[in-house]
């Protein structure tokens, strides 16, 4: 990773802003707070602006109490971005992915750095440290810190944030993206003080009763298995979410469950959200849900994990999705 330019900029204390994508996930928060704690330790004035709320299970990492959600402090957020000398955009490849933060970033004068691992990054920064083969943006933050010559600065706080980002984006080191190098990074993070067992418990063992019942309801009542296409789908309406007192993050992971069924290679979750349907795609092997969501559902992401949206009703979105499957039958049943 070539960091000469940014290293030079960071030689004196700077005003820095970090931001990430809308509805941040574990990698978005883990990588951002890892970088936040590191830059703070180096003496910079750092502000982390989140474009939206995020789940409770991501709120235990060091520095979380200083995160600014733009909706809660629009003026403070705008002022910080405008004043920033350096802006880090983490874990997203299109400026629109940071939603209401995007116009401020676009107008900002600071030096912009994109650190990300999504495919086909759009060029919206001055420096791009992107690698679509990386397991996670958090792994890239580790590599960034090492490339800066600062391995020795890693401490428990920084290491635990980064570890959490890698762990969540690789589904606990089980995806193909978790390479030998990823495991080496994880080992070094544990050496630096990351408590892997704490990260695991704090993320995965903090479910509400409602959340676990919602998952049961999804698999028992809502999952449609289309064996003909090796595909499973789950659709959730707003009313159903309300019935289970839905909170941000409660539907996370549900889309992965059907992939545990033998032969299922494509799993899709449709969730009704204010005025649109948010769609999550997961696949196995070669079927690219990134291409599929990009082509039909204004989305993108990774080959085996992507997202998109639809402005049709939930029912019509699902109908439309099913109508697209015959074209992919050969690919899905190969
Ligand atoms: P999730 O299904 O967990 O929301 O998202 C899976 C992956 O797809 C993530 O890496 C996320 O960044 C990406 N993704 C989700 N929604 C969208 C979207 O609307 N547009 C793009 N370009 N990527 C998305
Ligand atoms: Mn990520």
List of domains in the chain: 2-204 (3.90.1640.10), 209-333 (3.10.310.30)
Question: How does pLDDT run across 208-258, given as a tens digit for each residue?
Answer: 999 999 999 999 999 999 999 999 999 999 999 999 999 999 999 999 999
In the numeric block, which tokens belong to residue 219? 């698999």
User: Ligand 2 is a single-atom ion; what residues have CB below 5 A from it?
Assistant: 27, 91, 137, 169
Determine which residue's CA is closest to atom 17 belonging to ligand 1: 307
In the numeric block, which tokens belong to residue 264? 């299922």
Q: What is the structure's pLDDT at 298?
A: 96
- 55, 300, 310: residue to mutate for ligand 1 pocket, most atoms within 8 A of CB: 300
165: Cβ below 6 Å to ligand 1? no
Q: In angstroms, how far is CA 153 from the centroid of its own chain?
A: 25
What is the three-state SS of the chain?
A: CCCHHHHHHCCCCCEEEEEECCCCCHHHHHHHHHHHHHHHHCCCEEEEEECCCCCHHHCCCCCHHHCEECCCCHHHHHHHHHHCCEEEEECCCCHHHHHHHHHHHHHCCCEEEEEECCCCCCCCCCEEEECCCCCCHHHHHHHHHHHCCCHHHCCHHHHHHHHHHHHHHCCCCCCCCCCHHHHHHHHHHHHCCCCHHHHHHHHHCCCCHHHHHHHHHHHHHHCEEEHHHCEEEEEECHHHHHHCCCCCCCCCCHHHHHHHCCCCCEEEEEEEECCEEEEEEEECCCCCHHHHHHHHCCCEECCCEEEEEECCCHHHHHHHHHHHHHHHHHHHHC
299: Cβ below 6 Å to ligand 1? yes
The sign of the torsion formed by the CA atoms of 334, 173, 162, 184 equals negative
Angular region, 173: left φ>0, alpha ψ -120 to 50, beta rest: left
In ligand 1, the atom with minimum distance to the C-alpha of 290 is 8
**Cα gap 151→143, rounded to integer Å:** 9
**CA dist 332 to 113, 263, 300, Å?**
38, 10, 19
63: Cβ below 6 Å to ligand 1? no
Q: Distance from the CA of 329 to the center of ligand 1, in angstroms? A: 24
Residue 50 pLDDT > 90, yes or no?
A: yes
Q: What is the structure's pLDDT at 119?
A: 87
Q: Distance from the CA of 283 to the center of ligand 1, in angstroms? A: 13
Q: What is the structure's pLDDT at 246?
A: 96
Q: Distance from the CA of 21 to the center of ligand 2, in angstroms? A: 10
Does pTM surpass 0.85?
yes
Q: Which ligand is nearest to the CA of 115?
A: 2
Question: How does pLDDT run across 11-37, given as a tens digit for each residue?
Answer: 999 999 999 999 999 999 999 999 999
In ligand 1, the atom with minimum distance to the C-alpha of 252 is 3
In ligand 1, the atom with minimum distance to the C-alpha of 280 is 2
Angle between helical axes of 26-41 and 137-147 (0-180°, round to 10): 20
Taking residue 213's Cβ as centre, other Cβ atoms within 10 Å add up to 14
Determine which residue's CA is closest to atom 20 belonging to ligand 1: 299
Q: Distance from the CA of 75 to the center of ligand 1, in angstroms? A: 28
What average pLDDT is seen over the chain? 97
pLDDT band for position 120 (cuts 50, 70, 90): confident
Is there a contact between 234 and 255 (Cβ–Cβ < 8 Å)? yes
24: Cβ below 6 Å to ligand 1? no
Is there a contact between 271 and 253 (Cβ–Cβ < 8 Å)? no
Determine which residue's CA is closest to atom 24 belonging to ligand 1: 307
**Cα gap 334→317, rounded to integer Å:** 26
Q: Distance from the CA of 302 to the center of ligand 1, in angstroms? A: 8
In the numeric block, which tokens belong to residue 268? 């899709």
Q: Distance from the CA of 5 to the center of ligand 2, in angstroms? A: 24
Residue 274 pLDDT > 90, yes or no?
A: no
**Cα gap 4→87, rounded to integer Å:** 16
In ligand 1, the atom with minimum distance to the C-alpha of 279 is 2
Determine which residue's CA is closest to atom 10 belonging to ligand 1: 301
**CA dist 5 to 9, 84, 148, Å?**
6, 17, 10
In DSSP terms, 268 is beta-bridged to 233, 281
């Amino acid at each position: 990773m070539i960091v000469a330019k940014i290293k030079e900029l960071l030689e004196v204390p700077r005003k820095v802003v970090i931001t990430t994508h809308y509805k941040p996930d574990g990698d978005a928060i883990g990588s951002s707070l890892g970088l936040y704690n590191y830059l703070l330790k180096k003496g910079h004035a750092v502000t982390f602006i989140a474009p939206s709320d995020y789940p409770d299970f991501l709120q235990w990492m060091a520095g979380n109490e200083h995160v600014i959600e733009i909706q809660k402090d629009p003026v403070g957020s705008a002022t910080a971005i405008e004043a920033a000398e350096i802006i880090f955009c983490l874990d997203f490849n299109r400026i629109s992915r940071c939603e209401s933060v995007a116009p401020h970033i676009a107008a900002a004068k600071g030096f912009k750095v994109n650190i990300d691992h999504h495919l086909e990054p759009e060029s919206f920064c001055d420096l791009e440290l992107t690698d679509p083969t990386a397991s996670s943006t958090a792994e890239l933050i580790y590599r960034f810190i090492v490339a800066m010559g600062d391995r020795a600065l890693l401490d428990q706080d920084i290491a635990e944030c980064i570890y959490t980002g890698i762990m969540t984006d690789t589904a606990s080191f089980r995806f193909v993206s978790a390479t030998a190098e990823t495991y080496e990074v994880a080992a070094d993070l544990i050496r630096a003080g990351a408590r892997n067992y704490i990260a695991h418990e704090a993320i995965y063992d903090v479910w509400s009763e409602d959340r676990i019942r919602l998952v049961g309801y999804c698999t028992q009542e809502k999952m449609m298995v289309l064996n003909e296409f090796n595909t499973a789908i789950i659709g959730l309406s707003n009313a159903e979410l309300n019935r289970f007192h839905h909170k941000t993050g409660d539907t996370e992971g549900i889309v992965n469950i059907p992939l545990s069924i033998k032969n299922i290679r494509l799993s899709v979750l449709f969730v009704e959200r204010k005025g649109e349907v948010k769609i999550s795609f997961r696949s196995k092997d070669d079927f690219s849900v990134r291409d599929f969501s990009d082509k039909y559902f204004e989305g993108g992401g990774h080959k085996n994990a992507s997202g998109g949206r639809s402005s049709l009703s939930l029912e019509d979105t699902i109908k439309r999705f099913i109508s697209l499957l015959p074209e992919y039958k050969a690919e899905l049943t190969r």
